Amino acid sequence: MKIGRNDPCPCGSGKKYKRCYESANSHCDLREKENRKQMLSEHNIREKSVFKFFNDVSKETNIILLKTENEHDQIPSRIHMIIIFSLIDVLASYWYEFLGKTGKTNERAQNWYKTFCATEDNKHYQGMWKEMSAERLYFFRNSLVHFFGLGEENDGIYVALAPNNLPDELHDKWRKDFSKRGKTTIVIRARNFYDLVREGGILMLNSWQELI
């Protein structure tokens, strides 16, 4: 049954429909309930889209991280990193859209990293990652064209990209050798970076559910 503009509003406020439901300045329980339902529906659609994307990318990234029979990477670590950085870009864009915010690509990526990766809630945020600021990480992203991905921030700290199969003892030796030369260096393996970012994506999805 169609409600007339001069009929009582179904929300029970006692006001006319035109002065309650149709008025942007009034508090109408019925309108707010419908708005919440619409927002929830839109959020569910967006969340399913992000979850599907995240699930598909996780499968694809796991494939590119597979090793050969000799335990070597099938593609260079630099390509691994570029793909993971692209994943951050997409997740950050979804996050900003969810928040109703806009921003430059580098701003979105760095804020996403700070919120979901550089946090104690991320189980992979430990060790050298605590030395990796979002700004330093983004600078490194832009320096992947350097030899071995070695790039220097303006604070004198270097970031180096190592193969995924680099043993932990050799990883530590690299850092010590760089330090002896007066170069404080963070040595990254793409596999570890992917674990950190993947956990960040899970935290983002969980945070969406908490907001509803």
Full DSSP string of 177-200: HHHHTT--EEEEEHHHHHHHHHHH
pLDDT greater than 60 at residue 153: no
Say how far apart CA 180 and CA 191 lie, in whole Å: 27
Cβ density class 160-192: b for 16+ within 10 Å, e for less? bbbbbeeeeeeeeeebeebeeeeeebbbbbbbb
The confidence score (pLDDT) of residue 112 equals 96
Say how far apart CA 46 and CA 11 lie, in whole Å: 29
Cβ density class 79-104: b for 16+ within 10 Å, e for less? ebbebbbebbbebbebbbebeeeeee
77-115 per-position pLDDT tens digit: 888 888 889 889 988 998 898 888 889 999 999 999 999
For tokens 């598909």, name the residue: 56
Give the length of the chain.
Answer: 212
The confidence score (pLDDT) of residue 186 equals 84
* Percentage, residues of the chain above pLDDT 70: 87
182-202 per-position pLDDT tens digit: 777 888 888 899 999 999 998
Say how far apart CA 110 and CA 101 lie, in whole Å: 14
47-81 per-position pLDDT tens digit: 677 777 777 877 777 777 776 677 667 778 888 88
Q: What residues are paired with 152 via a beta bridge?
A: 158
The confidence score (pLDDT) of residue 41 equals 73
Say how far apart CA 190 and CA 83 lie, in whole Å: 10
* Both tokens assigned to 186: 């963070």
Say how far apart CA 68 and CA 26 lie, in whole Å: 66
Say how far apart CA 37 and CA 212 lie, in whole Å: 11
The CB-side HSE value for 212 (13 A sphere, CA atoms) comes to 16
* Both tokens assigned to 110: 């760095």
Say how far apart CA 34 and CA 101 lie, in whole Å: 24
pLDDT greater than 80 at residue 154: no
The confidence score (pLDDT) of residue 116 equals 96
